[in-house]
Amino acid sequence: AQTVTQSQPEMSVQEAETVTLSCTYDTSENNYYLFWYKQPPSRQMILVIRQEAYKQQNATENRFSVNFQKAAKSFSLKISDSQLGDTAMYFCAFMGGTYKYIFGTGTRLKVLA
């Protein structure tokens, strides 16, 4: 069975600085997707970034980038130039052949002014 582990329940970062959120996962599948979702107090799950496992190149979306290490089953999220609006819960998620999401327990990120 697939599992997703986020070992940092809470993190904080100063505005304009960089922070990295960690995620590890376990699977026996070779083809899968990994995601980072942001959930602000409004509860809406917002896709931050996605990574296809077959792609070696790390995904980047503006200030957000990932470090995908397939052999180590690691998928960290780096947020550069942190903004107050980045304050939210961040969930790492795995999607394999069944197309269901397996979520981690989340990391609460607080950006400090």
Partner 1 sequence: ETGVTQSPTHLIKTRGQQVTLRCSSQSGHNTVSWYQQALGQGPQFIFQYYREEENGRGNFPPRFSGLQFPNYSSELNVNALELDDSALYLCASRGGGEAFFGQGTRLTVV
95 near partner 1, rule: CB under 8 A: yes
* CB neighbour list of residue 21: distance below 8 Å, 6 or more residues apart: 6, 8, 11, 36, 76, 77, 78, 79, 90, 92, 107, 109
32 near partner 1, rule: CB under 8 A: no
Which part of the chain contacts partner 1 (CB under 8 A), choosing from 10-18, 29-37, 59-67, 73-81? 29-37
Which part of the chain contacts partner 1 (CB under 8 A), choosing from 10-18, 45-53, 68-76, 79-87? 45-53
Decide the pairing of beta strands 33-39 and 88-95: antiparallel
List 76, 87, 103, 110, residue binding partner 1 (CB under 8 A): 103
List 32, 75, 91, 94, residue binding partner 1 (CB under 8 A): 91
Q: How many residues at the interface with partner 1, by CB under 8 A? A: 21
* CB neighbour list of residue 7: distance below 8 Å, 6 or more residues apart: 22, 24
